[in-house]
Structure 1
Amino acid sequence: MPALFGGGESPWAEGVPYGSLGVTVLSVLVFLPLYFINFRLSGVRMVLCVLLIASLGYLLLPYNGFSNTYVIFAVAAAAFIHASLWHRLSLVCLMLATFLLEILWLGLPVFIFGITVIIALAVFFGSHYQIEHQRKSAALKLSHDEVRRLAALAERERIGRDLHDLLGHTLSLIALKSELAGKLFERDAGAARREIDDVTRVARDALSQVRHAVTGIRAAGLSTELAAARQLLESAGVSFSYALADVELTTEQETALSLVVREAVTNIQRHARATKARVELVALREQLQLRIEDDGNGGDLRAGNGLTGIRERVNALDGQFRIDSSRSTGTRLDILLPLVEQSLPVNVPRVHHLMAPR
């Protein structure tokens, strides 16, 4: 220990105890169980354990000036107590004030206290902000999942209403006309044939409407994912807009595009530091194009940021995946999928502008 202070000649070392190896080893044997037990406790028991760790520092100080290490550990552990920040800071101030009073009582150099305060508070606030970040991330994930659940519930209710209104009326009309055709068959074959033709026409119309409803069900996954993307990006202060062409997607395409949007939006929230983001789905001559872009920092992108998964999903559907990223313009992802015969645009895209509160 004298070597740390230049062989005892440094003025900083004057009056600092550094001997008593046996007492120091004994304190370590007491400290280690307290340290590991502390993270399994909560409430008053955790507070008592923190105070015991600090007490080790107080008891060892007359024998070893480096006992402030225990006080620093105690302050760091106080950050994990389930209480308000002010209550935890009050406990920290109590422990540090007790340490200062003991230093003054023993006549030790005050610089020991100064070093202890700087390190202890740095560790305390670092741990505090890490805990707060984890808590907010967990709350955001719960909110994200809740948005998906509510969107799925609303979509199921809409599908139920649509099918009830569609099939209830259509099946009643088919039953009525079929019954009428049966009664007219022997008296007026021409009228009966006309009723049968009406039944055929109504059935075909119903089939077309059911197909349209199924298209809405398949697109619900993408709509749900976009609603979740809005929630996620708003929480990060990113303004978000999207435009979706009214096209029919196969189940595989809709699932793949939903997962691509989820992965890309997560990357924007975690890595891009963007202020704006946009998702756009358009129908070209022979292809569907999904474009996801942001104005973030761009630059070199590592395959580990979900890009490998996106590429694999696109390749599985015989699609193409392109990425353009630069630090000046941000990042743009283009996904091109084959346009199946029924995937024709019904009308112009619907554009939604969703601005996050600044």
Structure 2
Amino acid sequence: MSRSLMPLLLRWRNRLVPDSLGLGWMPVFTLGYLLFLFVPFVVGWLADTRGSWVGEPAEVLGPTLLSIVVFLPLYFASFRFEGAARPVCMLAIAAVGYALIPVNPFGNTYIIYAVAIAAGVGRSLWPRVAWAFLILAGMLVETLVLRIPPFVFVITLLVGLGAFFGQYQFIENLRKRAELKLSHDEVRRLATVAERERIGRDLHDLLGHTLSLVALKSDLAGKLLARGEGDDARAAEARAAAQREIAEVSRVAREALAQVRSAVTGIRAAGIAAELVSAKLLLETDGVTFASQIDPRWLEGGALRAEVETALAMTVREAVTNIQRHARARKASVELETIGGDAVLRIDDDGRGSDIVPGNGLGGMRERIEALGGRLRIDSRRGEGTRIEARLPLQAGHDVAMAVNA
């Protein structure tokens, strides 16, 4: 399929089924069940018999095609409308089935569609079950009145209930994924707010004291300079004292600048602990089992230098994002250990794997690791999953690493 055609198809799909529902192409694919409406024609023509329906095949074909024309707008409207409009669409589809069954017994296909739609009507399970049984009860009455063979109703009942509970489970899974996604976003938001508050307190304590000291010493230096006017010994002593105070102000300002830079580094740094929590939420939201093997002491503040922890945390973030979007994995794991003074991070998944195509995410990951003197290795084979290994020298944090291993 050409690249120019796919965006067009996606636009048309989003017009029929809102993308916000998260259903993808599923509603379009399920229209394939409409082929069952034409089973009587195939069977009849192959067997050269018309005993399973009323009238000639040409007489049956017209109502069947007309039913599809009526059904399709109602079907897609059931995805777009909320509130009372959705049950109306559902009952209208069932009515199409009731009207077609006397002519084409496979009109029960519409009954099954209506029962499946009932799985999404209402806020709880029991009202949905009530709608499904109301639709099936209508077909039972029609079966008895028109003396349709009972097996037609039995098949409709079994397939309809299977479609109902399958659709209900699908909807519940979508709802739970949405809730987990909100939880994931909330964890990130709360972590960001907590970090901002911490940095705000640190800057307040740091700059409040430092700027007060600078203001006092500047005032003192100004007064000393005022006294230093003249050529006597007292004036010379005042000027010398003023110079000392100005030098002290300069020293305090440089120290404050260094401390502010350190605080800003803390703002920019990404924590490995926060990324592991986010990774677990993101992957398990998508049905991927996630496990981590990291010594708890690595997760404590200061166990790793800020730039090393940031590089490792961003590697986890990028790798987990790729797993969630592309890998189609069932399991993923993260492991962090120390080998000979290096921090070694491994991220594995059992997804489909593929040939590595360098992109912005992979390129940024590699640049970040190599800028700190580390190495990044990616092993990915089609059908065998992917392993990412990042190795970074601890350098100043080497003594901490040895303590962790002790």
Q: TM-score scaled by structure 2?
A: 0.66
**What is the Cα deviation at residue 292 of structure 1?**
3.8
- Residues 1:302 and 2:354 aligned together: yes
**What is the Cα deviation at residue 31 of structure 1?**
2.7
Q: Against the structure 1 CA distance between its residues 33 and 202, is the aligned structure 2 distance closer, same or farther, given a 3 Å change threshold?
A: closer
**Pairing partner for 1:205 from 246, 255, 259:** 255
**What is the Cα deviation at residue 117 of structure 1?**
2.5
Equivalence for 2:278: 228
Aligned pairs (5 A) from 1:154-303: 154-181=194-221, 183=223, 186=228, 187=234, 188=237, 195-196=245-246, 198-220=248-270, 225-232=275-282, 238-240=290-292, 243=298, 245-249=303-307, 254=310, 259-267=314-322, 271-274=328-331, 276-278=333-335, 291-294=345-348, 296-297=349-350, 301-302=353-354
Q: Against the structure 1 CA distance between its residues 199 and 345, is the aligned structure 2 distance closer, same or farther, given a 3 Å change threshold?
A: farther
Identity of aligned residues (%): 48
Distance, in Å, in 2 between the alignment partners of 1:197 and 1:28 is 89
Q: Assess if the C-alpha contact under 8 Å between 1:170 and 1:202 holds in 2.
A: yes
- Residues 1:148 and 2:188 aligned together: yes
- Secondary structure, aligned partner of 1:302: coil
Structure 2: which amino acid aligns with 1:69?
A: T
Distance, in Å, in 2 between the alignment partners of 1:290 and 1:17 is 74
What does the per-residue CA deviation read over 1:230-268, in whole Å, with 9 as the maximum and x for residues that have no partner?
A: 543576663446536532439xx95x7655322322455
Equivalence for 1:356: none
Q: Against the structure 1 CA distance between its residues 276 and 301, is the aligned structure 2 distance closer, same or farther, given a 3 Å change threshold?
A: closer
Distance, in Å, in 2 between the alignment partners of 1:291 and 1:109 is 66
- Secondary structure, aligned partner of 1:238: strand
**What is the Cα deviation at residue 210 of structure 1?**
1.8
**What is the Cα deviation at residue 200 of structure 1?**
4.3
- Residues 1:35 and 2:75 aligned together: yes
**What is the Cα deviation at residue 56 of structure 1?**
2.0
Q: Against the structure 1 CA distance between its residues 63 and 227, is the aligned structure 2 distance closer, same or farther, given a 3 Å change threshold?
A: closer
Structure 1: which amino acid aligns with 2:261?
A: R
Distance, in Å, in 2 between the alignment partners of 1:335 and 1:197 is 46
**What is the Cα deviation at residue 323 of structure 1?**
2.5
Q: Assess if the C-alpha contact under 8 Å between 1:16 and 1:109 holds in 2.
A: no
- Secondary structure, aligned partner of 2:376: strand
Q: Against the structure 1 CA distance between its residues 161 and 199, is the aligned structure 2 distance closer, same or farther, given a 3 Å change threshold?
A: same
**What is the Cα deviation at residue 109 of structure 1?**
1.9
Distance, in Å, in 1 between the alignment partners of 2:99 and 2:284 is 52
Distance, in Å, in 1 between the alignment partners of 2:101 and 2:319 is 55
- Secondary structure, aligned partner of 1:277: strand
Distance, in Å, in 2 between the alignment partners of 1:230 and 1:115 is 43
Distance, in Å, in 2 between the alignment partners of 1:45 and 1:318 is 55
Structure 2: which amino acid aligns with 1:247?
A: R
Q: Assess if the C-alpha contact under 8 Å between 1:222 and 1:257 holds in 2.
A: yes
Distance, in Å, in 2 between the alignment partners of 1:227 and 1:205 is 36
Structure 2: which amino acid aligns with 1:132?
A: E
Q: Assess if the C-alpha contact under 8 Å between 2:334 and 2:345 holds in 1.
A: no
Aligned residue pairs: how many? 336
Q: TM-score scaled by structure 1?
A: 0.74
Q: Relative contact order, CA 8 A, sep 6+: which one is greater?
A: 1
Distance, in Å, in 2 between the alignment partners of 1:333 and 1:74 is 48
- Secondary structure, aligned partner of 2:157: helix
Distance, in Å, in 2 between the alignment partners of 1:36 and 1:153 is 42
Q: Assess if the C-alpha contact under 8 Å between 1:230 and 1:240 holds in 2.
A: no
Distance, in Å, in 2 between the alignment partners of 1:192 and 1:219 is 41
Structure 1: which amino acid aligns with 2:91?
A: L
Equivalence for 2:32: none
Q: Against the structure 1 CA distance between its residues 82 and 180, is the aligned structure 2 distance closer, same or farther, given a 3 Å change threshold?
A: same
Q: Against the structure 1 CA distance between its residues 219 and 18, is the aligned structure 2 distance closer, same or farther, given a 3 Å change threshold?
A: farther
**What is the Cα deviation at residue 219 of structure 1?**
0.6
Distance, in Å, in 2 between the alignment partners of 1:241 and 1:151 is 22
What does the per-residue CA deviation read over 1:46-99, in whole Å, with 9 as the maximum and x for residues that have no partner?
A: 212211211222222222211111212212222332432221122111211221
| Structure 2: gaps spanning 5 or more residues | 1-39, 229-233
Equivalence for 2:20: none
| Larger displacement relative to structure 2 (69-78 or 171-180) | 171-180
What does the per-residue CA deviation read over 1:95-136, in whole Å, with 9 as the maximum and x for residues that have no partner?
A: 112212322332222221232223323333333233223222
Q: Against the structure 1 CA distance between its residues 101 and 59, is the aligned structure 2 distance closer, same or farther, given a 3 Å change threshold?
A: same
- Secondary structure, aligned partner of 2:149: coil
- Residues 1:135 and 2:190 aligned together: no
Structure 2: which amino acid aligns with 1:312?
A: G
Q: Assess if the C-alpha contact under 8 Å between 1:27 and 1:56 holds in 2.
A: yes
Equivalence for 2:400: 348
Distance, in Å, in 2 between the alignment partners of 1:132 and 1:303 is 35
Q: Assess if the C-alpha contact under 8 Å between 2:116 and 2:160 holds in 1.
A: yes
Q: Assess if the C-alpha contact under 8 Å between 1:103 and 1:109 holds in 2.
A: yes
- Secondary structure, aligned partner of 2:397: coil
**Pairing partner for 1:84 from 115, 124, 127:** 124
